[in-house]
């Protein structure tokens, strides 16, 4: 638990944060009691390495694409023959949980895996109460909290694999998450301003209120006939300003520092660091593809 410039580590008996989430209101009340009676020792946050707030996910990360119309429009004609009509319902995909890294960890980068690494600032939400076919009017009662994510994408892999996004979004150790998981009662997501900076240059800047499909509609559509579980992580889409749509295009390189900010949610600050992801692969180096 964050208290100003200090943190109070929860007792091991409470498990990890997913256990707290599935424990519901009783778990939160236990934490509040422990804070009040002084049984939790507070330590300074400075100097700590913050891990991802969620590390044990019940399934793949659930994601939404094209959820800001400006972002959808900026990509028209730049999807290399994979353009689609304007969606009439949310576009969903998943990505591997092995992508998740902490809010200050290095983003793994290997130009042999992809020549087009792109940034995507996003608001992420965590489901607190599971359910199936949840009505939009009830959807917000199923949200436990919010954090920031940087949905680093490999654009050439997206195009290479039939236009579906799983592969081009699932490279290991490439998605910063955090820095904190803020409970739903602490924030109005419609008032969150999302920003992404690369080496100090502001490249994305938008309000979450600009979403094409708002959070209640996303949850209603995602849960339609499909059970959501407590602890599910949902990325809600990125606004305009991505590198692939710029003229000239802007793709991440080793040494770049990427910052993602959100009102009331802190910031992610991650350096892009060259890492051997290619190994002994027999797949042709992406730099050598036409």
pLDDT tens digits for range 31-57: 888 888 888 889 999 989 999 999 899
Q: How far apart are CA 290 and CA 70, in angstroms?
A: 30
In this prediction, residue 82 carries a pLDDT of 78
What tokens does 197 get? 């900076």
Same domain, 216 and 282: yes
Q: How far apart are CA 17 and CA 33, in angstroms?
A: 17
Number of domains in the chain: 2
What tokens does 153 get? 């994408």
In this prediction, residue 111 carries a pLDDT of 97
Closest CA to 84 of 160, 164, 170: 164
In this prediction, residue 213 carries a pLDDT of 98
Same domain, 77 and 196: yes
Same domain, 117 and 188: yes
Residues paired with 257 in a beta bridge: 271
Same domain, 33 and 67: no
The pTM is what?
Answer: 0.96
Same domain, 120 and 69: yes
Q: Which domain holds residue 191?
A: 52-288
In this prediction, residue 38 carries a pLDDT of 80
Same domain, 15 and 102: no
Q: How far apart are CA 206 and CA 252, in angstroms?
A: 21
Q: How far apart are CA 175 and CA 159, in angstroms?
A: 20
Same domain, 201 and 66: yes
Contacts of 7 (CB under 8 A, 6+ apart): 1, 42, 43, 45, 48
In this prediction, residue 209 carries a pLDDT of 98
Same domain, 143 and 183: yes
Same domain, 130 and 65: yes
Here the CATH number for the domain that contains residue 68 is: 3.90.850.10
- Angle subtended at Cα 67 by Cα 134 and Cα 96, rounded to the nearest 5 degrees: 75
Distances (CA, A) of 149 to 63, 123, 124, 129, 179: 11, 6, 6, 21, 9
In this prediction, residue 83 carries a pLDDT of 84
Closest CA to 90 of 237, 288, 249: 237
In this prediction, residue 18 carries a pLDDT of 93
Question: pLDDT per residue over 181-234, tens digit each?
Answer: 999 999 999 999 999 999 999 999 999 999 999 999 999 999 999 999 999 999
In this prediction, residue 36 carries a pLDDT of 86
Same domain, 3 and 133: no
Regarding beta strands 175-183 and 100-101, do their DSSP bridges make them parallel or antiparallel, or are they unpaired? parallel
Q: How far apart are CA 267 and CA 251, in angstroms?
A: 21
Contacts of 27 (CB under 8 A, 6+ apart): 14, 19, 20, 21
Same domain, 160 and 17: no
pLDDT less than 50: residues of the chain: none
Same domain, 100 and 6: no
What tokens does 116 get? 């087009």
Q: Which helix (H) or strand (E) holds 262?
A: strand 257-262
């Amino acid at each position: 638990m964050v208290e100003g410039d200090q943190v109070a580590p929860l007792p091991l008996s409470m498990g990890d944060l997913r256990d707290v989430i599935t424990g519901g209101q009783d778990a939160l009340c236990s934490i509040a009691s422990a804070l009040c009676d002084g049984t939790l020792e507070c330590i300074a946050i400075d100097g700590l390495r913050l891990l991802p707030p969620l590390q044990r996910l019940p399934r793949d990360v659930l994601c939404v694409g094209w959820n800001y119309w400006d972002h959808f429009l900026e990509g028209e004609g730049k999807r290399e023959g994979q353009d689609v009509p304007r969606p009439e319902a949310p576009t969903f995909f998943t990505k591997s949980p092995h992508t998740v890294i902490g809010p200050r960890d290095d983003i793994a980068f290997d130009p042999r895996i992809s020549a087009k690494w792109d940034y995507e600032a996003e608001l992420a939400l965590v489901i607190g109460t599971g359910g199936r076919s949840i009505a939009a009017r009830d959807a917000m009662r199923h949200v436990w909290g919010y954090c920031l994510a940087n949905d680093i994408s490999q654009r050439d892999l997206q195009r290479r694999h039939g236009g579906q996004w799983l592969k081009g979004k699932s490279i290991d150790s490439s998605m910063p998450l955090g820095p904190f998981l803020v409970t739903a009662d602490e924030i109005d997501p419609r008032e969150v301003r999302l920003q992404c900076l690369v080496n100090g240059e502001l490249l994305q800047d938008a309000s979450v209120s600009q979403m094409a499909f708002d959070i209640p509609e996303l949850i209603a559509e995602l849960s339609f006939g499909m059970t959501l579980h407590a602890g599910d992580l949902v990325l809600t889409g990125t606004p305009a300003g991505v590198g692939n749509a710029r003229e000239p295009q802007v793709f991440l390189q080793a040494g770049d520092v990427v910052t993602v900010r959100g009102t009331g949610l802190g910031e992610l600050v991650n350096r892009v660091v060259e890492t051997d992801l290619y190994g002994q692969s027999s797949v042709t180096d992406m730099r050598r593809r036409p």
